[in-house]
Amino acid sequence: MKLLKKGAKGAPVKKVQEKLNKSGAKPKLAVNGVFDDTMLSAVKAFQKKHKLKIDGLVGDNTMAALEARGKAPKWGVKDISRGLKQLRMKKKDLTTSRIDIAVLAGEHHQNKEIKSAYRLFDISAETYSKYLHQFTRKMERIEELRMDFQRYLKGKPHEQKLAESEAQDLFKEVQKMNKIALKLERIFERDHDMFLQKLDDVAVAA
């Protein structure tokens, strides 16, 4: 929105005067569309009461607070900390599995069947790994926004609203990504088991 300051006139000023009155401005303001000294005092009093920057200017943050009647914004995105922890564990387990399988494949590098099974496993593992990285990064961004919302953006309701909006959009994305990640996980586990089964077959044949 356009920044309003002392001397401003017009409908936007009237809107702010109305909201200041609803928020308990004392003395009550005349809704005349003129940003005068009385309105300036009312704006500063509102900013002080709601822990905003006390500059007498009506910008995005002050307007957002007025529209919320001074109530502090609440974080409305579902807690994803547990899911993020699980994702990180999956990434760790995946890395361990890839190393273990690579060692086993190296021990049988001359066997064509083992090499073929390993190639299939490695492709699915790499695809799954890259997707988990993207998935985790988006989840981490949601957590970053939550921390910003709760710590660094206090007293900045407009910025808090923007942070929560971005997090809501990301949350919708990760919900869709979770379904794809589960499919890739099943493919990875299938190829993992197929490789181990091939190892057993070779051992029995020997």
Q: What domains are defined for the chain?
A: 11-67 (1.10.101.10), 81-205 (no CATH)
Cα(12)–Cα(76) distance, integer angstroms = 29
Q: How far apart are CA 85 and CA 188, in angstroms?
A: 20
pTM: 0.81
pLDDT the model gives residue 183: 98
Among residues of the chain, what percentage have pLDDT more than 70?
99
Buried b (16+ CB within 10 A) or exposed e, 158-188: bbbbbbbebbeebbebbeebeeebeebbeeb
- Please give the structure tokens belonging to residue 173: 């994305």
DSSP per position, 56-110: S-B-HHHHHHHHTTTPPP---SPP-HHHHHHHHHHHHHHHHHHHHHHHHHHHTTT
Helix, strand, coil share (%) of the chain residues, nearest 5 = 75, 0, 25
- Token readout for 11 is 């409908």
Separation between Cα atoms, residue 21 and residue 16, nearest integer Å = 9
The C-alpha atoms of residue 138 and residue 136 are separated, in whole angstroms, by 5
49-70: pLDDT as tens digits: 988 999 999 999 999 999 887 7
CA distance 107 to 113: 13
User: How would residue 206 be classed by pLDDT, with cut points 50, 70 and 90?
Assistant: low
Mind listing the pLDDT tens digit for each residue in 104-144?
Answer: 999 988 899 999 999 999 999 999 999 999 999 999 999 99
